[in-house]
Structure 1
Amino acid sequence: MNWKDLFQPQVISRGRAYYKRGLVTNLRQTESAVQATVNGSESYRVVLQFGPSCLQHVGCTCPYATEGKYCKHMAAVLFYLDEIRGLAGNKQANYPTLTELVAGATDQQVRDFLTLALAADNRLAQRFRMGVTQTVRENELVTYQQQIEMVFVAHQDRHGYVDYRAADALMAELSDYVTKDIQTIIDSQQLKLAFQVVNSLVSKISNAEVDDDGGILSLVDDCSEAWQQVIDEADMPLKRQLFSWFKEHADGSFETFNSEIIRLLNDNFSEPGFLQSKLKWTEEKLHEAKTDFPNYSTDWAKLHIQLMEKLNVSAEEIDEFCEDNLGLRGMRQIYITRCLQNKNYSRAIRLLLDGQKLVRKVPNLESEYHMQLKEIYQLAGWSDDYRRTLWQLLIGDECGNVGLYQELKRFYSTTEWPDVREKLFRAMPKTANYEPLYAEDMLYPQLLEAVLAEGGLIGVETYEDVLRPQFAPQLLERYVQVAKDLAQDVGNRKYYQEIVVMLNHMGTYPGGMPVVAKLLREWRVTYAQRPAMMDELRQVKV
């Protein structure tokens, strides 16, 4: 099968456009696999795996592909491979390609056919005229807006609604419009017009009634990329217009596109004048969010701090801003991270200790603060505090954490540790899971006792490798108890097959074969009326 058969036609078209624009980079290949990066509004990693004569697997990190669909990034890499490895496999022998047909035609044949094709397709004619003349006619924007309207009309019902059956086709056609028609406008350097057309499309889709199941994500990506191209190529007067538009519409009015609008604002417009304006803007947004949407206020605070850093605002002023906004959800962690980056360990510790007082009755949060404190004490070289915090964690929510146990153990000599360990075990809650700690210190008698006390086979199976050399009889006895309990219940064949697996494993123990044989003799009498069970027990190796 040709790989192109896996993709929707519009995805093939967009993948080809990505390939032709040179967006496939960092390609690495082996005999059976290929990895590459495809750059668009964001960079995504594509992985291809090949069998002896076919494409076995394709994967991409973009949102569209995570839904199990074949995306344009995959297609772009495959087009790239077609060029360098000749993997297309769709050329029939002695049958000319389109490129060969055009090359063999006369100029007049090409002109006549092109005229007929353009006359039959207004959108194609518009794209051709823009690409050739690179001029904007009066009311050009209206023409493009009418084209967008016609795309919607073709997929709407009589009430103007696009149901789920038509939504995918609509999104595909709109994406095709962005990557072809709007891309032609950008290539013609009519950047203001391109920006206006993208905005018209975004406004239309944001206000339309569409029962979409996620296909819009790809359209958002395409529009974002078109916006980015316009920003990259715009001169300063146009850039000021773009900036004003993005700022005005970062209020959620285009809900689906809002995160991309904010991202583009944040990632671009880095000239000092824009930065000052963004700083004032984020301050206003932060004030609004505190009042209306407190859960989102930290996002604006974080963005505000980033802008302050870009403007080389003094560290003291940034710290003061953080202190003033500590009441915001998540702000304390942002400030702590900043302190750690600046190696201001004392302030980070003070923030953690103060925060700890506020969350003592919140499950898990106190443990998280202790973990952070432990790491900062370690970074700062405050050994006593580091050791004390490890102890608090191990007798609290992190009892049974082998990593922390090993860290604490390093503070003591081999002669000191047994006494310290006993004190630690006595201080830990009675419900603590001591088993991983017993295994760490090879306290196998205590480990066996704990494993057998819990019932079932979970502990036995977890620590069987270390316990079996010394305690095989005790473990085998537990297996016998569990096997007998399981056999009492009536089950299906799969259930009996699991018992067979257990019996065969028991047979690998010293003295295990006779024990298993005895069980089988008893069961053939006790459970003789279970034909499925009797049939499966024939698979036991005795």
Structure 2
Amino acid sequence: MDGLTEAKLRVLAGERSFERGLGYVDAVSGVEVGDGWVRASVRGTERYEVELRLGGRGRPAGTCDCPYGQEGNFCKHLVALGLTVIAQEADLPRQRESARDRARGLDTWLSGLSREELLTLVRDEIAEDRQLRRRLELRAASARGDLAGIRPRIRELLDVGPFAQYGYVDYPDARAYADQAVQAVSAIRSLTAVGRASAAMALAREAIGLLAGVVESVDDSDGWLGQIGADLADAHHDACRAARPDPEELASWLVAHALDDAADLTDIDPLDYEELLGEQGLIALRRYATEAWTANRTGWAEKHLMQRLAKSGRDIDTVIAVHAADLAPNGHTHLLIARELDAAARPAEALEWAERGICETEDLATVDTALVGHLTDRYTKAGRLTDAVTLRRGHFAASRTLLTYQQLRAAARAAACWPPERENALDLLRADAGRVFVDALLDDKDVDATWQAAGEYGAHDGQWLTLADLSRPTRPADALAVYHRLAARLTRETGNHAYEQLVSLLVSIRDCHRHLGTPDDFTTYVSELRTTQKRKRNLVRLMDEYGL
């Protein structure tokens, strides 16, 4: 199987299952090879059926009916089959071709049977295989357009009861349930094909509701039910195209479906039915959507549908009305409205809504920062630089972070008033006596002020390191003291990441000694360090690479 390696098996199974799988290689038998899959039996406590396959992205996956495998795990039996496949890799093309030969041989044999012989064969098989019989019964009912025979069978096919333990379908059984549910989709499509499109449309809607009702009870990690939901949506659309239902009725169902939980399963877009709805249906669609939104103006589904329909009709005022009916307290909705108005070339109204968003946010510390950025950008483009600074100043005062400090600095520099703004901003941060004050000074690259602030208010190791890096050319002795302290801590740690950090510090320490004119002191320091750390071979090797 292409792309399969012991390393991949070890990752998939985990160390314990991989090691246990090594002991089961000789228990693998009955290997069958197909395109992208290998099946076999593995003798364990019992005989287990195992299938190994490549996923859509080339990632090996598999199933096994042992208890551990049924929980969705890549078990030791799968490891054993995988190792067998790797060992037989050179023979896989021959085995695949052999499987194709068997399939061709079966097809040739079946093609040579007479009608009576084929009927006898099928009757014998359905007499022994109940599931095959039921599948063929459903296909026969579909071909006849027998709605009374199909409806109860579809209900059975979408019933999770036979697969659920304690009311839930676990991962190992989800594929089997999905395979069964696919038959329901096929039956619905068959009804359309035999001229019973109206019945197919009704059954598709019923099946969508049934599937939506059980989806939360199924472990759909592989997305099988999502695909079935999409297939049911396609079957419904095809049936509608053939049946040409009443536009008013279709519009009513589309709106009801869009507001139902089943919408997430099918992803049906009412506007995909625009041709079938016609002008009358589209008017009804918008009427029903408006009625639903009017009854629940804060409902997400109602708002989304209204906005979708309004945008399709270029009705910007309705889009704004939907947003305005449920304004977020942090100005986010005001920003959405402003962007819609900007896109509609209505800049004055857009600016008004953005400013309202700032004014109506009670605490600027909680404001949507994108709104502040949007309004600042508009002020700047309009040449209102003082207003931009005022906005950034207010946001910084409410939320004193390094980011809001940087944003205030950018606005104030554009307005040529940064020095006085900086003093006021630093006064606020100094009053907080927090590390943002140190961050701001570092960001300004005010080295001397940062040393004073770090000593007075404290700093974390990352700040000290940044300060030392900035200070090496002008205050090498101070920087050296920081590097020595940080290096001392790292000498007590192990691991390549710690070694890389330590070597980086040693390079900086060497640079400090170069500025101080004391290279001999560095040589002595490194020599002592090599002696105390000599057992850390990766560290010593890394020091050698950097000439330390």
TM-score by length of 2: 0.62
Query: Is the aligned partner of 1:514 residue 2:524?
Result: yes
Map 1:225-244; keep pairs closer than 5 Å. Answer: 225-232=231-238, 234-235=240-241, 237-238=244-245, 240=247, 241-244=249-252
Is the CA contact (8 Å cut-off) linking 2:341 and 2:349 kept in structure 1? yes
**Aligned residue type for 1:457:** D
Which AA in structure 1 matches 2:163? H
- Counterpart code for 1:223: G
1:433 and 1:229 mapped to 2: Cα distance?
59
Conservation of the 8 A alpha-carbon contact between 2:154 and 2:184: no
2:145 to 127, 136, 142: 136
After superposition, the C-alpha distances for 1:73-105 in whole angstroms (9 at most, x for unaligned) are xxxxxxxxxxxxxxx958634664466336644
What is the RMSD of the two structures over their aligned residues, measured on CA atoms?
A: 4.9
- 1:314-357 deviation line (CA, Å, top 9, x unaligned): x556656665x255776544433322222333323333333334
* CA distance 1:332–1:457, change in 2 (3 Å): closer
Show the counterpart of 1:24: none
Residue in structure 2 matched with residue 32 of structure 1 by the alignment: none
Work out the CA distance in 1 between the residues paired with 2:313 and 2:320: 15
What aligned pairs does 1:322-333 form with structure 2 within 5 A after superposition?
325=325, 331-333=333-335
Distance 2:224 2:113 in 1: 38
Contact 1:332 1:351 in 2 (8 A): yes
**Residue aligning to 1:109:** 113
Tell me what 1:277 maps to.
284
Matches within 5 A, 1:104-503: 104-105=108-109, 107-109=111-113, 112-113=117-118, 116-117=121-122, 120=126, 121-126=132-137, 129=140, 135-137=144-146, 139-142=148-151, 144-145=153-154, 147-148=156-157, 152=160, 154-155=162-163, 161-162=167-168, 164=170, 167-178=173-184, 180-185=186-191, 190-206=196-212, 211-215=217-221, 218-232=224-238, 234-235=240-241, 237-238=244-245, 240=247, 241-250=249-258, 252=260, 255=261, 257-260=262-265, 263-265=268-270, 267-269=272-274, 271-290=278-297, 294=298, 296=299, 299-311=301-313, 313=315, 325=325, 331-361=333-363, 363-365=365-367, 367=369, 369-397=371-399, 399-401=401-403, 404=407, 407-408=410-411, 411=414, 421-422=422-423, 424-426=425-427, 430=431, 431=434, 433=436, 438=441, 441-447=444-450, 449=452, 454-462=458-466, 465-484=469-488, 494=494, 503=502
Determine if contact 2:230/2:267 at 8 Å carries over to the other structure. Answer: no
Q: Paired residues, what number?
A: 443
2:104 aligned residue: 100
SS in 2 for 1:280: helix
Name the CA distance, whole Å, in 1 between partners of 2:369 and 2:56. 39
**Is 2:468–2:478's contact at 8 Å kept on the other side of the alignment?**
no
Deviations 1:203-254 (A, max 9, x none): 44455697433459531332233213432562363364544434445554xx
Is the Cα contact below 8 Å between 2:438 and 2:453 reproduced in 1? yes
Deviation of 1:519 after TM superposition, in Å, equals 7.2
Name the amino acid aligned to 1:480.
H
Spell out the pairing of 1:528-539 with structure 2 (5 A cutoff): 536=536
Matches of 1:163 and 1:318, distance apart in 2? 42
Q: What's the secondary structure of 1:507's corresponding residue? A: helix
CA contact (8 A) 1:275 1:307 kept: no
Aligned partner letter, 1:125: L
Does the residue aligned with 1:220 lie in a helix, a strand or coil? helix
- CA pair 538-398 structure 1, distance change in 2 beyond 3 A: closer
- Mark the runs of 5 or more structure 1 residues left unpaired by the alignment: 8-12, 17-45, 49-54, 59-67, 71-87, 525-532
**Structure 2 CA distance, aligned partners of 1:322 and 1:391?**
28
Task: Report the secondary structure of 1:238's partner residue.
Answer: coil
Pairwise CA distance, 1:3: 7.5
Aligned partners of 1:442 and 1:372: how far apart in 2? Answer: 28
Do 1:438 and 1:446's aligned partners in 2 also have CA atoms closer than 8 Å? yes
The 1:129–1:234 alpha-carbon spacing in structure 2 relative to 1, beyond 3 Å, is same
Cα distance, 1:477 vs structure 2: 0.8
Q: CA deviation at 1:385?
A: 2.2
Letter of the 1:474 partner, please give it.
Answer: D
User: Any conservation in 2 of the 1:167–1:211 contact (CA below 8 Å)?
Assistant: no
1:461–1:429 CA distance, 2 compared to 1 (3 A): closer
Structure with a larger share of its residues in helix: 2
Distance apart, 1:285 and its partner CA: 1.9
Q: Tell me the CA shift for residue 374 of structure 1.
A: 1.2
Partner of 1:84: none
Greater displacement, 219-228 / 430-439:
430-439
Check whether the contact 1:378–1:386 (CA below 8 A) recurs between aligned residues.
yes
Q: Separation in 2 of the partners of 1:322 and 1:199?
A: 31
136-145 or 512-521: bigger deviation: 512-521
In structure 1, distance between residues paired with 2:400 and 2:280: 50
User: Contact between 1:448 and 1:467, CA under 8 Å: does it hold in 2?
Assistant: no
Cα separation, partners in 2 of 1:128 and 1:95, compared to 1, 3 Å: same
Q: Secondary structure at the match of 2:436?
A: coil
Measure, in 1, the Cα distance between the counterparts of 2:121 and 2:272.
45
Larger RCO (alpha carbons 8 Å, 6+ apart): 1
**Residues 209, 400 of structure 1: CA spacing in aligned structure 2 closer, same or farther, 3 A cutoff?**
closer
Residues 379, 387 of structure 2: 8 Å contact kept: yes
Other-structure match for 1:82: none
